[in-house]
Amino acid sequence: MGEKRQVDVVVVGLGVGGEEVAGRLAEAGLAVVGVENTLVGGECPYWGCVPTKMMVRAGLALAEARRIPGLAGSATVTPDWAPVAKRIRDAATDDWNDKVAVDRLVSKGASFVRGTARIVGPGQIKVGEDTYAATRGLVIATGTKAVIPPVPGLAGTPMWTNREAIEADTLPSSLLILGGGSIGCELAQVFARFGVQVTIVEGGERLMALEEPESSQVAAEALTADGVRVRTGVRASEVAYGTEFSLKLTDDTVLTGEKLLVATGRTARLGDLGVDTVGLDPSARWLSTDARMRVQDGVWAVGDVTGNGAFTHMSMYEADIAVRDILGQGGPDADYRARPRVTFIDPEIGAVGMTAVQARGAGIDVVESHVPLSSTSRGYIHGPGNEGFIKLVADRQRGVLVGATTAGPSGGEMLGAMSVAVHAEVPVRTLLSTIWAYPTFHRGFGDALKGLGFDR
């Protein structure tokens, strides 16, 4: 016979979003139960952002060392995966142990339950035999899992998703990657830099298909320069696995590789959560919410599960809105106009707001400008590794930026100023009169802004 407990709020899923909600509501004095079936912190610290960015950092160090000839002398570069794997195991994930995170949450006053939560009716959540009645509400923060495409022969093979790729202590000699989005591109470049023969198979016509075409081009060139074979516009039609993977493509070519990484997108973890007991569709790809993160009365959702952009910063952003709503604190509604994202390849590709095509699709009278980084002072000074560009998308009528892409050695860092410009709708005239320090990469904004052709 299980325990029955009445609390104010139950938070299901304690990734970055759920942990933030549970911790803040507990600190505010509410009785909160947080339920997590894997690791508190979720995908980002254990199988996502943090370990992948450690990998990227290591790959970048190799690439920079390889740029020494012609710039600063000579260098012999011998890649070794062991320190990367060790750093991920010891420093990033504590050997995939969440004790520190659990203690952090409990120290804020939340109750922590390890297990799989199932909704069994309005405000009623079961974990094992125990039942929790959430009088103020339920917060769903169950994140996403990798989509495995229905390619004949794929199911049941020892394919990698991001999790196995990140846990790898040793690298394969060859790797096939299905999907040329953020995960595919970042991991392809890292592994190639460590000597793995990598091939990406992207079903769409270009890598990073949701971003500007120039981003796709820069990504394809950078990956190719690192030795990655990039195949676009083809899909896997059949998979076979014996001692290695064999991938038959829709153009009848066959690729082989020691490992196969599936990186074809993510879908919300909703299937067996019991959302049907509160009238929601368990087969939906995402849980949609209003601008206060409410799914329905007494149910909020935050983070990847909402489909508003599967990024840690979006999860934290939505968590903040849900917390304020639950506590009756008011504050701004969710606003996705200036959603930033950065793909951490070299060059880093940052983007905020709309692409030019999206802006036109939204009926905006678009004016755009594009500046190659190599034509800017800092790009020229930087020399090898200066690939990249700045692209601005403006609304001619309103005189404000609605989108920007910043690709280059610090593409993600450069994005900051453009995020402010798009979010705060800073007039292009004001941006044109801004002083940009010389010779920074971001000084290229001055050139790109002039290219929009607005009067001062």
Ligand X SMILES: NC(=O)c1ccc[n+]([C@@H]2O[C@H](COP(=O)([O-])OP(=O)(O)OC[C@H]3O[C@@H](n4cnc5c(N)ncnc54)[C@H](O)[C@@H]3O)[C@@H](O)[C@H]2O)c1
Ligand Y SMILES: Cc1cc2nc3c(=O)[nH]c(=O)nc-3n(C[C@H](O)[C@H](O)[C@H](O)COP(=O)(O)OP(=O)(O)OC[C@H]3O[C@@H](n4cnc5c(N)ncnc54)[C@H](O)[C@@H]3O)c2cc1C
269 binds, among ligand X, ligand Y, none (CB under 5 to 8 A by kind): ligand Y
- What DSSP line would sit under 186-225, residue for residue? HHHHHHHHTT-EEEEEESSSSSSTTS-HHHHHHHHHHHHH
> Considering beta carbons, is residue 25 or 190 the nearer one to ligand X?
190
The smaller minimum CB distance to ligand Y, of residues 346 and 368, is found at 346
- Shortest Å distance, C-beta 423 to ligand Y: 17
Count Cβ atoms within 10 A of the Cβ of residue 182 and give its class: 0-12 exposed, 13-18 middle, 19 or more buried.
buried
Distances from the Cα of 145 to the Cαs of 47, 88, 257, in angstroms? 11, 21, 24
If you write DSSP's letter for every residue of 153-172 in order, what string do you get?
TTTTS--B-HHHHHH-SS--
313 contact choice in ligand Y, ligand X, none (CB below 5 to 8 Å, kind-dependent): ligand Y
260 in Cβ contact with 178 (< 8 Å): yes
Give the residues lining the site for ligand Y (CB under 6 A): 12-13, 15-18, 35-38, 42-44, 48-49, 52-53, 116-117, 141-144, 162, 183, 269, 273, 303-304, 310-313, 315, 344
Query: Sheet holding 348-353: strands in order across?
Result: 340-343, 348-353, 400-408, 389-395, 366-372
183 appears as a binding residue in the annotation: yes
Least distance (Å) between residue 285 CB and ligand X: 12
What residue ranges bind ligand X (CB under 6 A)? Answer: 149, 178-184, 186, 201-204, 209, 235-236, 263-266, 310-311, 341-344
In this structure, are residues 259 and 290 in contact, taking their beta carbons and an 8 Å threshold? Answer: no
- Looking at the Cβ atoms of 92 and 452, the one nearer to ligand Y is 92
**Which residues have a Cβ under 8 Å from the Cβ of 28 and sit 6 or more positions away?**
323, 327
Q: Which among ligand X, ligand Y, none contacts residue 236 (Cβ within 5 to 8 A by kind)?
A: ligand X
Compute the distance between CA of residue 355 and CA of residue 211 in angstroms, rounded to an integer: 7
**Pair 188, 232: CB distance under 8 Å:** no
Q: In angstroms, what is the minimal distance from the CB of 409 to ligand X?
A: 16
In the complex, minimum distance from the CB of residue 263 to ligand Y, in angstroms, rounded to a whole number:
8
Q: Is 185 annotated as a binding residue?
A: yes
Give the angle 387-393-397 at the CA atoms, nearest 5°.
160
* Cβ distance to ligand X smaller for residue 119 or 263: 263
- Minimal distance, residue 304 CB to ligand X, in Å: 8
CB of 44 to ligand Y, least distance (A): 4
Q: Is 211 annotated as a binding residue?
A: no
Which one of ligand X, ligand Y, none interacts with residue 149, CB within 5 to 8 A by kind?
ligand X
Residue type, 85: A
Binding-site sequence positions for NAD(+): 179-186, 202, 265
